Copies of this chain bind each other. A is one copy, B any other.
Amino acid sequence: MNGAKSLVKTLLASGIDTCFANPGTSEMHFVAALDQVPGMKCVLGLQENVVTGMADGYFRIARKPACTLLHCGPGLANGMGNLHNARRARSGIVNIVGDQATYHRPFDAPLTADTAGMAQTVSQWVRTSVDSARLGRDAAEAVAAARSFPGQIATLILPADVSWNEGGVVGEPVPAPASLPVDGNAIENAARTLRAHGADTLILVGGTAVLSDAHPWLWRIAQATGATLMADFVTAHLSRGRGRLQLERTPYVMEAAIKALQRYRHIILVNAKPPVGFFAYPGLPSTQYPPDAQLQVLARADQDPLPALQALASLLNAPEVAIPDPGPRPAVATGAPTPEGLAQTVAAVMPEHAIISDESVSFGRGFYKFSHAAPPNDWLHLAGGAIGDGLPVATGAAIGAQKQRRVISLQADGSAMYSLQSLWTQAREKLPCTTIILNNSKYNILIGEYANVGATPGDTAMSMLDLGNPALNWVGLANAMGVEAARATTLEQCADLMQASFGKQAPFLIELMV
């Protein structure tokens, strides 16, 4: 058995059954092993940022890692933007990066690069396997690292000769390290704060604390103490809709965030980080919380928040209490698209347990308020700020849900252009993905940011901020990649197209002119 075969068998034995791939020559023995050992679903992406973004989306929905197959340092580099996002989303991914044979590396052939150096910038775990007999064990440890709570980026660099040499040994599955339990002191401190200052306390939640299992406990704690619940702006995945908490996120705009947080003297962090500005601005602080606020950590990002929330509710004697009804499901809005109207329309028509991949950027900041009364859904966000993850995440999420759930992308046009190749994979895999391109023909968020500098953009600036010359035709782009598409200029047209698309086991794209 060569190394490559031992690797495939180890991955399968460790529960990895999906491989998002864009292979090259140095990975051919691994590709051949995937042919010879059945069980791995392989999904091609036509650029590596699509590949890594799909793995991120897959993890968020399947709650287990997939592997990627990437070609040498530059192939990894092409996928690093979405690995950055996945790291911020705390998704688990096992990257297999084929590379030059160990003995060939010193010859500095063209594709030779500092693969490990690149990997370090986006991975919590990096190893270059150097021995076919150890490759299986290395892979099992990579999977364990990727499964570390809640998820990590593990990158295994695979020199070609380690892949093709004989002597491979299938690695025993390695259990993921247990998540560090929350200390009793942290729970007692939180209880003390909430009892004494509940009304002045913000419970800021992120990570898995915004998923549905945690909602009843958060609500009990909030109701018993008068504390406010809010979600971290950069949370990657929330459970939303009827039966779930009607959480709002901390605002993106710095002044609005400072205003929203100014009344809290205490902030309890549950899988969330202290809220800070996405960027710094002249004359504004870096932090969004009041300077005199006391911060405490109930659960770190790498600690399971559920037992801590349960213990805290119990310590507070917080009684079970129903999560409030969000009111009637909204109707389809009509007329010209507005953010509110689109949110309402999506809420009106989405199927049960839809997955929303929201990379709406500037257009979508107000979506939440108008979509609480939707059916239960999973709402995914860009967590790392590197635009271009919306379409790949949607694609991977559809595969993570085994094509059984509708995925709706609310997708800004500028960001969509970063990884538009995703549409081809959606067509190839016949994925139930409905993409709504919010076509405003500009980098609108930046035109807003430019205004903060104190002026309106001149011709030179607009040559870098305007996407309208020439106009991108998203129906044409989708069709050319095998995806049916249509344009909508009103919300009722958009609703009709969405509903029609839901009946098909295939992707569909709506170009919504906003």
B276 touches A109 (CB 8 A): yes
Residue of B385, B419, B465, B480 near A474 (CB, 8 A) is: B480
Complex contact B273–A108 (CB within 8 A): yes
Shortest A370–chain B CB gap in Å is: 25
> Given contacts A111-B386, A470-B482, are A464 and B80 in contact (CB under 8 A)?
no
**In the complex this chain forms, how many copies of it are found?**
2
- Verify if A77 is at the interface (C-beta below 8 Å from B): yes
The yes or no answer to A467 lying at the interface (CB within 8 A) is yes
Using an 8 Å CB-CB cutoff, how does the interface string of A370-401 with B read, 1 for contact, 0 for none? 00000000000001111010000000000000
Known: A273-B108, A461-B35. A113 touches B100 (CB 8 A): no
Interface string of A17-32 (1 = CB under 8 A from B): 0000111111011011
A216 vs B40: C-alpha distance when bound (angstroms): 57
| Interface residues on chain A, size class | 35 or more
Contacts of A47 in B (CB 8 A): 388, 417-419
**CA of A88 to CA of B25 in the docked complex: distance in angstroms?**
19
* One of A217-225, A442-450, A495-503 contacting the partner: A442-450
Do B452 and A110 have beta carbons less than 8 Å apart? no
B34 A161 Cβ-Cβ under 8 A: no
- Decide yes or no whether A189 CB sits under 8 A from chain B: no
Contacts of A85 on B, CB cut-off 8 Å? Answer: 74
B35 pairs with A458, CB closer than 8 A: yes
Asked if B417 and A463 make an inter-chain contact with CB atoms under 8 angstroms apart, the answer reads no
List residues of chain B with CB within 8 A of the CB of A318: none
Q: Tell me if A404 is interfacial: C-beta within 8 Å of chain B.
A: no
A-B contact pairs, 18 of them (CB 8 A): A23-B464, A31-B465, A34-B461, A35-B458, A38-B460, A47-B388, A47-B418, A75-B386, A78-B80, A78-B418, A103-B280, A108-B273, A110-B234, A110-B384, A118-B118, A118-B121, A476-B479, A477-B477
Which residues of A pack against B, CB within 8 Å? 21-26, 28-29, 31-32, 34-36, 38, 40, 42-44, 46-47, 49, 69, 72-75, 77-78, 80-81, 84-85, 88, 100-101, 103-104, 107-111, 113-114, 117-118, 120-122, 160-161, 164, 234, 273-274, 276-280, 282, 286-287, 383-386, 388, 414, 417-421, 424, 427-428, 445-446, 449-450, 452-455, 457-461, 463-465, 467, 469-477, 479-482
